[in-house]
Structure 1
Amino acid sequence: MPVQEAAPRTEPARRAWRPRPRVRKTLLLVHVVASVALVGSVWGLVLLNLTATLTTDAALVEPAYRLMTVLAFGGGIPLSFISLASGIALGIGSKWGVLRHWWVLAKLLLLIATIVFGAVLGQPEAMAEAASGGDLPTAARRWREVAVVAAQLAMLLTATGLSVFKPRGRVRWPRRRS
């Protein structure tokens, strides 16, 4: 009777973290609510910026910019980071991954760009200070603020569209040579 050799031992397959269904649904709920609320917050910033830009009433301009600061710090910043964290957690725990599919990677980059635009380019506090003396900031400066929040809104709406349509295509990363 021939002796059967034991099968060679292989490393167990590395299993990615998969949340339980309830945890996944909770993460998904948090992500959707934070993302939708972020779109609403940025839409509010667009409206306030347009109001401050199109009005000739100097008494309305400063309060509009002051309210933008409250909306950005009270809504936009926390919501963007909640959306970012929950999106990464969902990506890690799902078949889509974070860096595996183009649409997920694009959503990640769009959200990061939205955060960076607000942090680097948005200046509602400076605009409120400029308007506090009763003088209106220059039209170019006011339209620049409108452009910043309009770009943020466009990026968030694009990310929303990617979530709905999930275009095909995987990211092809270069392979390491061993």
Structure 2
Amino acid sequence: MRPRIRKTVMVIHVIASVALVGEVWGLVVLNTAAALTKDAGLAHAAYRLMPALVFAGGIPLSLIALISGITLGLTSHWGLFRHYWVAAKLVLLVAVICVGMFLFDPEGMAAATEGGAAVPATRQWGQVAALGTQIIMLMTATTLSVFKPRRRLR
């Protein structure tokens, strides 16, 4: 890949990845506020806002980060499965996507709080934990990008 194109893909990858961290952090804040409040209307409004963030931000940003990351891995000297840190970043991003798909359910939470109904605390905090896990995985991937451990895969 030409240097100018590679740098453009790198910028797209970094912007999408950083924006994804911000989007997930916003979901953590909304979900924590919904779990801590005694106001059922506020909890319901927070849960209703979350799908907009997911569909307008989380899904496109994670796919852009995934596609640009794979492109960079396949076209750079780092390779996709040549170094542990690159492979780990790929696994972490796929795990973030899977947690979002299979464990995070803002629409279900919004439906559960419809009409002021209370949601069990374990379910509320399970949603916060899923998002917290995503934040930790994204921060780990960011740290790997900065430090780039030199160990290679066989």
TM-score w.r.t. length of structure 2: 0.99
Partner of 1:138: 120
Partner of 1:71: 53
* Equivalent position SS for 2:116: coil
Render the CA deviation track for 1:16-43: whole Å, top value 9, x for unaligned. xxx1011001000100000000000000
Q: What are structure 2's unaligned runs of at least 5 residues? A: none
Partner Cα distance (2:134, 2:56) in 1: 17
Partner Cα distance (1:144, 1:113) in 2: 17
Partner of 1:127: 109
On the 8 A contact 1:111/1:156 being kept in 2, the answer is: yes
On the 8 A contact 1:61/1:136 being kept in 2, the answer is: no
Partner of 1:116: 98
User: Residue type of the partner of 2:46?
Assistant: A
Partner of 1:62: 44
Partner of 1:107: 89
Partner Cα distance (1:111, 1:170) in 2: 20
Larger helix proportion of the pair:
2
Residue 141 of structure 1, CA deviation: 0.5
* Equivalent position SS for 1:140: helix
Work out which of the two has the higher radius of gyration on C-alpha atoms and give 1 or 2.
Answer: 1
- RMSD of aligned residue pairs (Cα, Å): 0.5
Partner Cα distance (1:171, 1:68) in 2: 39
* Equivalent position SS for 2:115: coil
Residue 133 of structure 1, CA deviation: 1.9
Partner Cα distance (1:68, 1:102) in 2: 34
Partner Cα distance (1:62, 1:98) in 2: 42
Could you tell me the percent identity over the aligned residues? 59
Partner Cα distance (2:118, 2:57) in 1: 26
Q: What are structure 1's unaligned runs of at least 5 residues? A: 1-18, 173-178
Partner Cα distance (2:150, 2:81) in 1: 14
Q: For residues 1-178 of structure 1, what are the structure 2 equivalents within 5 Å?
A: 19-172=1-154
